């Protein structure tokens, strides 16, 4: 038998790449938590429409109503596609607050004020929770990674990564506020609106990228849900073994002793 006739082993088998798997899981979790590309578009479009219309005709009512309508349309589209609507709904609430506030004061710049105050509050929340030892990004992503709060006491390397990511989010959002609030006080509505639209995605992408970098290098999350399922399965197996041996399941003994 020639060398061509001999069976050859497959050369396509590659060893598993735990680091690559961790990066993929982190990317998927970040997309789920922050809405991905579609979530970013839904965040930008209402504000972009508002400032575009206001730039042309300076009509607060038309600009505000158009922004609110497009936000509602985005929610309806998600509902029609049976997709998650949490990011679209948050956009609707944000736009609605801006519309109500601007209509109440009669100042078009106030359309942006609720969102700016929210950004400032979120920046402070990231920093304060990190200083308190419970970084906000860990509270957000813990359930997504199925680790809940296990990182606080059982995974110090991961807690450190969450702290770094929360500092990044807090400082980036504070820098964004440092640009926007002076414009709110001293600039006109059109300039403020276009700057705000321009600052919607880049700071967000920077914060997400830094979060990905920190978490990709961190220890793997502890799947507490899998642990609970394993414990329940082991308990059932122990009770089944006791029953097979003529004993009494531990649950029954505990109830009788009680």
pLDDT tens, per residue, the chain with 258 residues: 444 444 444 444 544 444 555 566 676 667 666 666 777 777 888 888 899 999 998 888 899 899 889 888 888 887 787 776 666 667 778 888 888 889 888 899 999 999 999 999 999 999 999 999 999 999 999 888 888 899 999 999 999 999 999 999 999 999 999 999 999 999 999 999 999 999 988 998 899 899 999 998 889 888 887 878 888 888 887 877 787 776 555 555 544 444
d(CA 187, CA 233): 64
pLDDT number for residue 42: 79
**Which letter does DSSP use for residue 132 in this model?**
T
Residues near 25 by beta carbon (within 8 Å), at least 6 away in sequence: 145, 221
pLDDT number for residue 118: 93
> For residue 133, which phi and psi values (nearest 5 degrees)?
90, 5
Residues near 33 by beta carbon (within 8 Å), at least 6 away in sequence: 140, 141, 144
pLDDT number for residue 201: 87
pLDDT number for residue 132: 96
pLDDT number for residue 186: 93
pLDDT number for residue 10: 43
d(CA 104, CA 29): 39
pLDDT number for residue 175: 97
Which helix (H) or strand (E) segment holds residue 226: the answer is: helix 224-244
pLDDT number for residue 25: 66
What helix, strand, coil percent values describe the chain, rounded to 5?
A: 75, 0, 25
d(CA 29, CA 20): 14
């Amino acid at each position: 038998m020639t060398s061509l006739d001999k069976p050859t082993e497959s050369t396509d088998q590659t060893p598993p790449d735990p680091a690559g798997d961790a990066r993929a899981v982190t990317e998927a979790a970040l997309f789920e938590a922050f809405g991905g590309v579609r979530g970013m578009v839904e965040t930008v479009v209402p504000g972009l429409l508002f400032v575009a219309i206001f730039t042309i005709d300076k009509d607060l009512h038309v600009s505000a109503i158009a922004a609110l309508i497009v936000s509602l349309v985005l929610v309806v589209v998600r509902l029609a596609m049976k997709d998650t609507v949490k990011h679209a709904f948050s956009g609707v609430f944000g736009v609605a607050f801006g519309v109500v506030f601007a209509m109440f004061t009669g100042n078009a710049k106030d359309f942006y004020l609720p969102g700016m105050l929210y950004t400032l509050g979120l920046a402070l929340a990231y920093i304060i929770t990190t200083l308190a030892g419970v970084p906000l990004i860990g509270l957000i992503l813990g359930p997504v990674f199925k680790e809940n709060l296990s990182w606080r006491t059982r995974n110090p390397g991961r807690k450190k990564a969450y702290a770094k990511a929360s500092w990044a989010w807090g400082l980036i959002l504070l820098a964004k506020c440092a640009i926007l609030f002076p414009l709110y006080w001293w600039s006109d509505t059109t300039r403020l609106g276009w700057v705000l639209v321009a600052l919607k995605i880049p700071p967000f992408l920077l914060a997400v990228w830094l979060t990905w970098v920190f978490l990709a290098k961190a220890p793997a999350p502890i799947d507490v849900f899998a642990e609970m399922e394993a414990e329940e399965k082991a308990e059932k197996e122990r009770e089944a073994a006791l029953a097979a041996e003529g004993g009494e399941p531990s649950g029954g003994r505990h109830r009788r002793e009680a």
